Amino acid sequence: MNQVTSKQQIYNYLYKISHEYLLDHLSDFTTITISKELNISRSLTSQYLNELVKDQKVIKISSRPVYYLSRGNLEQIYHVILKDNEYLSVQELLSELKNHTPELKDFQKVIGCEGSLSYAISQIKSALLYPDGLPMILYGEKGCGKTYLVRCMIEFCQNNLHTKQPVQLYMKRIMPRECANEQMKELFGYEQDGQIHKGVLEKAEGQLLCIQNATDLCDLAQEKLADFIRYGKFTRLRNDLVQVQSKLRIVLCAEKDPRTILNPNLLLNIPILCHIPGLSERSEDERTQLVVHFFQQEQKRSKRHILISEKLKHFLVDHQFEININELEKSVKAICANAFAEAQDREEMEVRIYHLPIYLLKQISIDRYEKDDDIFVRIDSFERHELGEKILHMWEQMLQAYLDMEEGKYSMSRFFELGQEAVRHYYDILVFDESYRDVRIDVMKNIVIDVLNVIKNIKNIVLPVNCAYVLTRMIISTGRNTSLLNQWEAAHQKEIRECLQKMSETLVDESIIASQIVKQLQTAINIPLSDMNKIFLMLNIRMYNKDLRAQDTLGIILSHGYSTASSIADAANSLLGMYVFEAIDMPLDTPVDEISHKLNVYIQNNTYLKNIILLVDMGSLEGLGDGLADSVNVGVINNISTSLALNIGDKIMQHYNLETLLSEACAENQCHYKVLSLAKRDKAIVFTNDVGVAVSQKLSQLFRDSLPRSIDLKFIEYDYDTLMKNKKSDSLFEKYDVVLMVKPYNLKLKRVTSVSLEEIMSFKDIDVVNHVLRPYLDEAEIEEFNRRLLKNFSMQSVMENLTILNAPKLLDFVSDAVQDLQLLMQKKFQSRTIIGIYIHVCFLVERAVTKTTFDKCENLSEFVAQHEDFIEQVHQSFDVLLRHYHIEMPISEIAYLYEYISNDDREVLGEDEF
């Protein structure tokens, strides 16, 4: 029998008591206490403890008194690998442990909270935070984690809802083939012989009620549950006279898509539907985290350090478990149980392929996995790689490069090179290493692409396609106030601000362009972009644009009146397609000194400006330049008008020097006159489309419903075919002054201000509409109009108003079909193209269902001969939709669809190449 040495006795003692006390009773970890407990001299105890520190088995805290802790226990409990063997104080040790184990709350604990589950969790939070809560449905394959998310909801409610009583969870499982009468009794209660038997809805009052297997509810229970959700009241069985009230939050869980199974009335009353992806739909990073998490649980339970073989890890990450996460967790428990029998007398436990449960071993060839030497990895050494953490690593590299430059380690140019290397590296990770889909990314990416395309075209710069993708993910990740990115930015706010300031001073042109992108993005998505987003943009702009010249001249319009200057500036900026003019509106009695002060503040906040052109409406304002800061060149021109502003704006964009610009603008803007017709024409907004006048009438009504009040404008619905034939010579333009036309893209009318239905629905070119309405509505009313327009012209709202069919179901079919068509054509449609296709196909289905013909395409035989591939792709991608509605796709409809896609391609050629 082997004799245990004194040194080993000391280590065994530390290891044993650490499981019970650790940081709670530090007095048990001193040299004196250990010496007394083991009857070993104090000097020998001290000697052996220090040797164990050198052997990296014990951690030493050099305080008064000195403490010795089991390194293995610390690393096992906190899931870290400590960097040092010795710490100056307990606080220093705790600080390192805390940095590696941040305090996570509710949904932050969920693996994938910033990845594949981010959208579902944002929906859940919205439902829980809404006053009195919104009912929701979680659906996904068995074992995908629905119940775990429900339990996280309870913690989220406790952390965020200030209710009198803490929200508790009430679970109700619906059994398959359960008697309908029993379901009704259990859910709604019943009365018998004068006795009241409460149901689940009463028992769960004030709680979060989770109904599992909701698709097994009988139709009658679903109908009655829908009425309860709508009215907050229900009746018990055998008593239809007494209305029972109950306030609670409701979550339904289902394994299949509820839209294909649940009662339509119930679905109509549940606004939040969250799809929970199965294990195979999760990214490899998330599957790895789940494997590591379950082994860490068993490590804590077995009190053994677990070392996992790389081959076993790869098998568990790649294997498709039928019951998803639940089966993975069960398999990990079985693996650890099998391995524990071999490691009862050891501190470490190796887990291998052959420790798998028998049913899994039968599915693989052990020889294939075990014939080569295997590598074992400490389960605590695996790092999490959530999306936010990946972005955080990129940000940390950028900021560290700046801090090293400030310490003199690098030059400024080397700092930019290191920052650009970080950007390139994380392009690869963020773009190619994510296998899950997030519907918000697609929607927001289209908005970001539109903004970047506008700046790209105006500034003639290059940006990579991946810039929009990565920037979108950064915006989504930083949109959560509790995200790692927000916490990191708050902790490094001073250094980030200094870094941005230094970059802005050095990269002046890049800073100007990045600021314009940030400003337009914030306007488009109403989400503030952080300083790190701007640093990221500046590095991208510098990386892909070597000879960059930004706009260093700005026009400022000053005019007396409520919104005269703003109206001219808005119109000029919209028509020029670039932000060239600022506006200052002034009451008539505004003193010149006050105006000079405003201008000086503006100059101080925009130090990149070299030239300012003041466009004023009265000669008395020409002396303003005398009181301005001498850091910029100032030119003044009077008698401002929209045409003069356009002339000057065009010259600013062409980088004219100041004196040439002013002299040529004055020479080119002479007064002209002509006699106009004395008859006054009514101003009108005209609606026309290729489906029919009835649809134009409904669109007109939706537009009018968006106005905060009636205005002095005519709303005309006009025949599309007549306009296509007559163009601008149509009698419509003799009778009315058409200030705006809402029309299809393929109707081209010169000198007519117009937008398409697609542009309204995507909220693009809304400034054109606002400019038309500004003479009739003030700015507050314009904002109200925009809010209503955004609501009334959402895809679902438009289709619900324009089609007789079930709009949500129809849109789901169309969405899937368009996605398949893009895959078959191997191209990505523009966002406005997708909206246009949605509208056209929905009307196509309605025409086919109602037997209404569509014969506006000629030369169909020639089309069939030339585009057989496209016809086959359409039939293939729309097959499910066509079979569902029992209709066929006429060649005329396919030809129209082809023309629409081709026409939009021509109009926005290159829009996605930035």
What pLDDT, in 10s, does the model give residues 815-860?
888 888 888 888 877 766 777 777 777 777 777 766 665 555 566 7
Over residues 218-241, mean pLDDT: 93
pLDDT score of 869 more than 80: yes
Over residues 82-98, mean pLDDT: 81
pTM over 0.75: no
Least confident of 101-110, 724-733, 900-909: 900-909
- pLDDT the model gives residue 729: 86
What pLDDT, in 10s, does the model give residues 471-480?
787 777 665 5
Q: CA–CA separation, 269 vs 354, rounded Å?
A: 51
DSSP 175-232: PTT--HHHHHHHHH-EEETTEEE--HHHHTTTSEEEEESGGGS-HHHHHHHHHHHHHS
Q: CA–CA separation, 184 vs 188, rounded Å?
A: 6
- pLDDT the model gives residue 156: 93
As a whole number, the mean pLDDT across the chain is 81
Q: Give the H or E element holding residue 576.
A: helix 564-576
**Could you tell me if 722 and 743 are in contact, meaning their C-beta atoms sit under 8 angstroms apart?**
no
pLDDT score of 97 more than 80: no
What pLDDT, in 10s, does the model give residues 307-362?
998 889 888 988 999 999 999 999 999 999 999 988 777 778 999 998 999 988 88
Q: How many residues does the chain have?
A: 914
Q: Give, as one character, the DSSP assignment of residue 240.
A: S
User: What are the residues whose beta carbons fall under 8 Å from the beta carbon of 822, sequence distance 6 or more?
Assistant: 828, 829
What pLDDT, in 10s, does the model give residues 758-807?
777 777 778 888 888 988 998 888 888 888 887 777 766 666 666 666 77
752 pLDDT band, cuts 50/70/90, is: confident
pLDDT score of 235 more than 60: yes
What pLDDT, in 10s, does the model give residues 118-145?
889 989 999 999 998 999 999 999 999 9
Beta bridge partners of 197: 190
Collapsing DSSP to helix, strand or coil, 546 comes out as: coil
Phi, psi of 234 (to 5 degrees): -155, 170
Beta strand 208-212 pairing with 169-173:
parallel
215 pLDDT band, cuts 50/70/90, is: very high
- pLDDT the model gives residue 620: 56
What pLDDT, in 10s, does the model give residues 10-38?
888 887 777 655 565 677 888 988 898 88
pLDDT score of 436 more than 50: no
756 pLDDT band, cuts 50/70/90, is: confident
**Could you tell me if 686 and 732 are in contact, meaning their C-beta atoms sit under 8 angstroms apart?**
yes
Q: How many helices (H) and strands (E) does the chain have?
A: 41, 23
What pLDDT, in 10s, does the model give residues 354-365?
899 998 888 876
- pLDDT the model gives residue 706: 87
**CA trace torsion 239, 245, 246, 252 (10° rounding):** 60
